[in-house]
Each structure stands twice: as structure tokens, then as C-alpha cells.
């Protein structure tokens, strides 16, 4: 869908040469990373929101992403280790026969 050039986002998102949501889309960031980026970009610029509040919100989303990454990474690592264990066991069984 083509972007309507007559519509402009809020000033706190349009300070630079690219709007945060365009960058988020371009970089294929997931929801939590996109939200963190959004709050970082607007920190100290949105009327009615303090820089501290926005940075805390960004940290909240980054902590959630980190927790999910660690949990997912551990599950993946456990699967890899389990597959190595079972592969080694199968090789051992074949050798013993």
C-alpha cells in the first residue's frame, strides 16, 4: 500500500529522515523490539510523556524480548543437545550389534 504523503505522523516520530515504523518494517523487527525502538525515538519529545517514562517503557519491552530470547534459546539448545545425545546413542547401539 502506498503511503499517503498528505498524512504525517506526530512530531515526536517525524524528527528524522525516517519514521520509526518505517525503520521497524525495513529491519523486520518483531513487536517487542519495534515498541522499544518507538519509545526510544520519542523519549523526551512527546508532549505529556517524560523521557524517563519512555525509556522505562523501552526497557520493559527489551527485558521482555530478552527473557523470551533466553527462554527460546535454551529450548533450542536443549533440543540440539538432545538430538546429539540420541544420535550418539543410536551410533553406540549400532556399533554394539
Instruction: Please determine, for residue 37, whether its predicted confidence score (pLDDT) is greater than 80.
Output: yes
Q: Say whether pLDDT at 56 is over 90.
A: yes
Task: Decide: helix, strand or coil at residue 90.
Answer: helix
d(CA 34, CA 62): 10
Average pLDDT of the residues in 11-30:
82
Q: Is the pLDDT of residue 16 over 70?
A: no
pLDDT at res. 34: 95
Residues 49-69, mean pLDDT to the nearest whole number: 95
Amino acid at each position: 500500500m502506498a503511503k499517503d504523503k498528505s498524512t504525517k505522523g506526530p512530531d515526536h516520530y517525524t524528527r528524522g529522515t525516517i519514521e520509526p515504523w518505517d525503520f521497524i518494517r525495513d529491519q523486520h523487527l518483531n513487536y517487542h523490539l519495534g515498541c522499544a525502538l518507538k519509545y526510544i525515538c520519542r523519549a523526551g519529545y512527546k508532549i505529556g510523556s517524560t523521557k524517563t517514562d519512555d525509556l522505562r517503557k523501552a526497557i520493559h519491552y527489551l527485558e521482555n524480548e530478552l527473557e523470551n530470547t533466553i527462554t527460546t534459546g535454551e529450548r533450542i539448545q536443549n533440543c540440539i543437545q538432545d538430538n546429539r545425545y540420541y544420535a550418539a546413542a543410536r551410533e553406540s547401539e549400532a556399533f554394539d550389534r
